[in-house]
Amino acid sequence: MARRILVIGTGNKHKVTEIAPLLLETGLDLELKPASDYGAFDPDETGATLKENALIKADAALKLSREWSISDDTGLEVEALGGRPGIFAARYAGEGCSFDDNINKLLGELNGVPLEKRGAKFASVIALCRPGQAPLYFRGECKGFINIERRGTGGFGYDPIFTITALNKSFAELTTAEKNTVSHRSIAVKQCRAELERLM
């Protein structure tokens, strides 16, 4: 029986690096491919929720590849900012912005806000799309706070300023293996992996 191909619908290579070991650590017979292997992949994320945007990307990857496809959408909700940046976390500082641009904007908006009022939550939703089947969804959350300054050199995105309350470490201070035990994305991926094991 041919190995099952699973297409990951993202243009973010960091996400693929995080997702791949989590999906494969239990020996699932999967061949992971980025959607870009099948052609240009840049769907418009026009959804109003993480779930809608995850589906847009997973469905686009399915249509491009005709293979089982997954995609995640991640948001960062900061209490002091009324839940912003939310689903706009990746482009908070504007289209084409860098990770640093986003961090600088967020820290600027929180300037003067004390640590005890900087509570935040990361959430990830993964959509799994298969030909002729209804999509399936998996959600993970991780609670913490936004630090006053950057800590650590690992990770990507907001990792240097998002501190996990239980560990008192930023995501950027954790190894990939450590992050994969607690992160919002790892929780969602593990749920997805369990369902893939059942389906296969």
Instruction: Give the strand pairing for 4-8 and 30-34.
Output: parallel
Structure tokens at 179: 């992050």
Sign, Cα dihedral of 142, 148, 152, 153: positive
Query: What pTM was computed for the model?
Result: 0.90
Is 72 annotated in the active site?
no
CA 134 vs CA 47, 72, 130: distances in Å: 18, 16, 7
In DSSP terms, 145 is beta-bridged to 119, 163
pLDDT tens string, the chain, 200 residues long: the values are 568 999 999 877 777 777 888 898 888 889 999 999 999 999 999 999 999 999 999 999 999 999 999 999 999 999 999 999 999 999 999 989 999 999 999 999 999 999 999 999 999 999 999 999 999 999 999 999 999 999 999 988 999 999 999 899 999 999 888 888 899 999 999 999 999 999 98
pLDDT at 2: 63
Q: Which residue of the set 42, 44, 59, 73 is catalytic?
A: 73
68 in Cβ contact with 55 (< 8 Å): no
29 in Cβ contact with 6 (< 8 Å): no
pLDDT at 149: 94
The correct CATH number of 4-199 out of 3.40.50.300, 3.90.950.10, 3.90.1170.40, 3.30.300.20 is: 3.90.950.10
